[in-house]
Amino acid sequence: MVQQSESESRKLLSRLQAVMAEPVEGQERLDRITHLIADSMGTEVCSIYLLRDADTLELCATQGLAPEAVHVTRMRIGEGLVGRVAKHSRPINTANAPAERGFRYMPETGEERYSSFLGVPIMRLGERLGVLVVQSKDEREYSDDEVYALEVVAMVLAEMTELGAFTGEGAALRERHKAQVMLRGGCAQEGAAMGHVWLHEPRVVVTRPVADDPAVELDRLRAAVDRLRVDVDRMLDHVAPGDAEQREVLEAYRMFARSRGWMRRMEEDIARGLSAEAAVEKEQSTARARMETVPDAYLRDRLHDLDDLSNRLLRLLTGQGRDTGAELPDDPILVARNIGPAELLDYGRRLKGVVLEEGSVGSHAAIVARALAIPLVIHASRITTEALNGDFILVDGDEGVVHLRPEDAVASAFRDKLAMQAAAQERYASIRDKPAEALCGTVVSLHMNAGLMADLPSLPSSGAEGVGLFRTELQFLTRNKVPRRGELAALYSRVMDAAGGKRVVFRTLDIGSDKVLPYMKPTEEPNPALGWRAIRVGLDKPGVMRMQLQALIRAANGRPLTVMFPFIAQFDEFTQARDHLLRELEREAALGRVLPESLQIGAMLETPSLGFAPRQFYELADFISIGGNDLKQFFFAADRENERVRRRYDTLNVSYLTFIEQIVNRCAETGTALSFCGEDAGRPVEAVCFAAMGLRSLSMRPASIGPVKSLLRRVDLQEARAVIDHARGSGAQSVRPVVMDWLRRNA
Ligand code: PEP
Ligand code: MG
């Protein structure tokens, strides 16, 4: 066999390219390619095996083996030497194939005559497409150079497969992208949606895998890598000094961007005839294949970094980016590895749903998706490799399931589900202007939670009586610098305008814990949920809070104003925050500004401690709102972001309900208005139980108002209370089973 020098590799690639350009049918093209490779590499045999389905390889073309075996010989992944190359995504190089472990004799191919065997995987971005094999009669191992040369050829073949150069039975990839895929992830925002895939960052398509002039390609690669390094350095410069985590990620990026090994491998690929982008993709592919087999999570993350970096480099080299010229479908379902809150807001309500490969329940993207009420499934592994732009897709945010290219039966069951939801919406619309009056005559007032200007149109359509919680942090989270007072005042004023005189409870900035501002100097905290967050930040560094309070007073401009302070854990935090507000009022008055017509100052009860605060706290607060999301995590000591424990304790647990009852009673003693604004208020069964415990005001996502009102109107709260009390007396852990049973019979 001829040694494969770099220049021979280049010659082979350009001959390959010429074959690819010939106007012949797919099979003939494959045949010519195998002939060409065998000839150029001086081997008796060259064969191409392609994946027929997820686990079957088929001999699709050969030079040297029996022609009758083409499209007949098949093997499973892992079976025989060819199957093992595919399984482990690694070359097998042996001088004596029949003696090799795993060798399987295929009589129809006549291959027993060949001794040496070299097989390399055909992969595209870590995805198996097939195996390329050369064989010879002489008993010799192939040199590293030859292995390398064959890998480069396999890379070019992979690109050509993707480009549709191979048609007919070997087009395993295309077949695969037609098949239905069901992925299970996590729910981050409920709701169901049906639509077409819109890839946030479409894959870069390498249209020119082979290049004529390696010197030009080397220059292109080096220029792009230089730009990449500058970009990474710039990103590092922008990391806030204390943000150790982001710094660590970017340091790893920088390390990879400066990796000599990575650069050297790509330079070698280019020297053998690949274009710069094909070289990047070849190394990315190898890293991806490794990613699947690395058990260590830390190392896997680092390989992910390398993957990200390769994507950036590919975009720099090809000029391809997000704008591929494709049009956003009418019913877009956004598919991405991950997405930032600002990017998600840019898409806004046009999106029907979002599916992320990564993400977390507490991520900013999830907060935005929740605010926009867009179903969101996270941790849908492989979705970005499986999905193609325009694919039909179903997103079930309630179950955390995604169906990509669903079969008709699945799609029609899903349509039924959507129709049932739509019918329910109609029922809710019919009671929109009616009160949430239970059969016993008790009326519960229902309000909505909001955080964006875009939420306000839901106020009239949902039937909410007002905004029970306006989370002000979203304007802070989605910008890269602190918003100015004037901007905020204008925004808050527009929110009040849009509310048309209905009450809006503005909660002052609740940051820290999971909500970290990009421009805030982060502090390394062992347990951020228990750390320096919300009012603690507001009181220790009052500048931003005071600015926000001024903006609120100015926005009210003579209208009533309601302000709520988050995460109050003891009385004096409330008095101090309240004093800040009163001082700002005095200042504004001194400046001659119009003061609010009336002012209500409330506190969020999010830590159990406040349930035991002195009576004077309850007397001073104009109102209290239970932040159940936080309260529950502290009550049960179970992190609301931790998938392992967050569902472990039931909201209808007897201890928790009893604690809520205690807060209701304390507020009743002092005549303090009380509401509940955590997510649980929007769950109909929970809402009924809260109302039965004495809560008369609930605030929830606008979409939950219909279902909650509908159930409240069908039950007698006194009966509900009796059922709950009976369960409490029986020593039950949760009242849910008996309440559900009672509802089934009575609602
Ligand atoms: C809560 O904790 O219940 C709450 C409403 O606040 P957030 O979810 O914004 O922390
Ligand atoms: Mg909270």
User: Position of tokens 């089934």?
Assistant: 744
Calpha distance 442→715 (Å, rounded): 10
User: What atom of ligand 1 comes closest to residue 471's alpha carbon?
Assistant: 9
Cα torsion for 109, 110, 112, 116, to the nearest 10°?
A: -70
Q: Look at residue 357 and give its three-state secondary structure.
A: coil
Give the whole-angstrom CA distance, residue 298 versus residue 434: 55
Q: Kindly give the distance from the C-alpha atom of residue 535 to the centroid of ligand 2, in angstroms, as a whole number.
A: 11
680 in ligand 1 pocket by Cβ < 6 Å? no
Closest CA to 551 of 580, 510, 584: 584
Paired sense of beta strands 353-356 and 92-94, if any: unpaired
| 353-356 sheet: strands from edge to edge | 181-184, 401-404, 392-396, 192-199, 332-336, 353-356, 376-378, 186-189
Q: Are 120 and 46 in contact (CB under 8 A)?
A: no
3-state SS string for 631-678: HHHHHCCCCCCCCCCCCCCCCCEHHHHHHHHHHHHHHHHHCCEEEECC
Centroid of ligand 2 to alpha carbon of 627 (angstroms): 5
* Rounded CA separation 318/207 (Å): 9
Residue of 84, 54, 357, 417 whose CA lies nearest to 200? 357
Q: Which residues pair with 605 in a beta bridge?
A: 568, 626
**CB of residue 471 inside a 6 A radius of ligand 1:** yes
Specify the amino acid at residue 428: Y
**Measured between alpha carbons, how far is 510 from 410 in angstroms, rounded to an integer?**
42
Relative to the CA of 513, which ligand 1 atom is closest? 10
6-173 and 214-318 agree in CATH topology: no
Q: How far apart are CA 396 and CA 182, in angstroms?
A: 11
The verdict on pTM exceeding 0.75 is: no
Amino acid at 179: A
Mapped onto helix, strand or coil, the DSSP state of residue 455 is: helix
Question: Phi first, then psi: what are they for 665, rounded to 5°?
Answer: -65, -40
- Mutational pocket test of ligand 1: of 471, 610, 680, the residue with most ligand atoms within 8 Å of the beta carbon: 471
- The one catalytic residue among 46, 667, 677, 689: 677
Positions of the chain with pLDDT under 50: 1-2, 162-163, 165, 167-174
The pLDDT tens digits of the residues spanning 508-524 come to 999 876 666 666 666 67
Confirm if 236 and 373 have CB atoms less than 8 A apart. Answer: no
Residue 278 contacts residue 210 (beta carbons within 8 Å): yes
Q: In what order do the strands lie in the sheet with 116-124?
A: 74-76, 56-63, 45-53, 127-136, 116-124, 92-94
- In terms of Cα–Cα distance, which of 227, 323, 220, 226 is closest to 278? 220
SS3 per-residue string spanning 54-86:
CCEEEEEEEECCCHHHCCCCEEECCCHHHHHHH
Q: What is the pLDDT of residue 84?
A: 93
The dotted CATH code for 214-318 is 1.10.274.10
Question: Closest ligand 1 atom, CA of 606?
Answer: 2
DSSP string, 577-606: HHHHHHHHHHHHHHTTPPPPS-EEEEEEE-
Q: Is the CB of 677 under 6 A from ligand 1?
A: yes
Q: Which atom of ligand 1 is nearest to the CA of 534?
A: 10
CA of 604 to the centre of ligand 1 (A): 9
Coil/strand/helix, residue 53:
strand
Domain boundaries, the chain: 6-173, 181-202+324-420, 214-318, 440-721
Class of domain 6-173: alpha beta
Does the Cβ of 630 fall within 6 Å of ligand 1?
yes
- Rounded CA gap, 726 and 599, in Å? 42
Q: How far apart are CA 641 and CA 483, in angstroms?
A: 28
From 452, 455, 610, 630, give the residue whose CB has the most ligand 1 atoms within 8 Å, as the site to mutate: 630
CATH hierarchy code of domain 440-721 = 3.20.20.60
Does 533 sit in the ligand 1 pocket, CB within 6 Å? no
Sign of CA dihedral 623, 628, 634, 640: negative
Residue with CA at minimum distance from ligand 1 atom 1: 627
Q: How many CB atoms lie within 10 A of CB 647?
A: 9
DSSP string, 253-314: HHHHHT-HHHHHHHHHHHHTTB-HHHHHHHHHHHHHHHHHH---HHHHHHHHHHHHHHHHHH
3-state secondary structure of 221: helix
Ligand 1 atom closest to Cα of residue 449:
5
Q: Is 109 left (phi over 0), alpha (psi -120 to 50) or beta?
A: alpha
> 60, 364, 667, 689: which is the annotated catalytic residue?
364
Beta bridge mates, 274: 210
For the Cβ of 606 lying below 6 angstroms from any atom of ligand 1, the answer is yes
31 lines ligand 1 (CB under 6 A): no
pLDDT, tens only, 245-296: 566 767 777 887 888 888 999 999 999 889 999 999 888 888 877 766 766 6
**DSSP state for residue 142 in the 8-state scheme:** P
**Does the active-site annotation cover 689?**
no
DSSP string, 523-560: ---S-GGGSS-THHHHHHSTHHHHHHHHHHHHHHTTS-
CB atoms within 10 A of CB 19: 18
∠ CA(397), CA(402), CA(406), 5° rounding? Answer: 130
Token pair for 399: 């179950």
The dihedrals phi and psi of 611, each to the nearest 5 degrees, come to -65, -20
- For residue 285 the two structure tokens come to 């592919």
CA–centroid distance, residue 471 to ligand 2 (Å)? 10
Q: How far is CA 61 from CA 39, 55, 113, 166, 190, in A?
A: 15, 19, 18, 11, 49
CA of 348 to the centre of ligand 1 (A): 22
Mutate to test the pocket of ligand 1, among 513, 536, 677, 699 (most ligand atoms within 8 A of CB): 677
Number of Cβ atoms within 10 Å of the Cβ of 527: 8
Residues in the chain: 747
DSSP 160-204: HHHTT---GGG-HHHHHTTS-EEEE-EEEE--EEEEEEEESSPPP
What is the pLDDT at residue 226? 92
Options 3.40.640.10, 3.40.50.1000, 3.50.30.10, 2.30.33.40; CATH for 181-202+324-420 is 3.50.30.10
- pLDDT value of residue 63: 93
Q: pLDDT at position 168, please?
A: 39
Would you say 451 and 474 are in contact if contact means Cβ atoms under 8 Å apart? yes
Q: Is the dihedral of CA 632, 634, 637, 639 positive or negative?
A: positive
> Backbone dihedral region of 88: left (phi > 0), alpha (psi from -120 to 50 degrees) or beta?
alpha
| Cα torsion angle, 395, 396, 397, 400, sign | negative
The protein residue whose alpha carbon is closest to atom 7 in ligand 1 is 629
- Phi and psi (nearest 5°) for 168? 80, -155
Q: How far apart are CA 232 and CA 242, in angstroms?
A: 18
CB distance 65 to 100 below 8 Å: no
> The tokens 């029907």 sit on which residue?
352
CB atoms within 10 A of CB 341: 20
Three-state DSSP class for 19?
helix
For residue 679, give the ligand 1 atom closest to its CA: 3
Please classify residue 191 by burial: count the beta carbons closer than 10 Å to its beta carbon, then call 0-12 exposed, 13-18 middle and 19+ buried: buried
**What residue has token string 């809402």?**
687
Task: For residue 177, indicate whether it is catalytic.
Answer: no
**Three-class SS of residue 359?**
coil
Structure tokens at 308: 């990200």
Tell me the C-alpha to C-alpha distance, in Å, between residue 69 and each of 44, 47, 92.
16, 11, 22
Q: Which ligand is in closest contact with the Cα of 626?
A: 1
Query: What does the pLDDT read at residue 560?
Result: 98
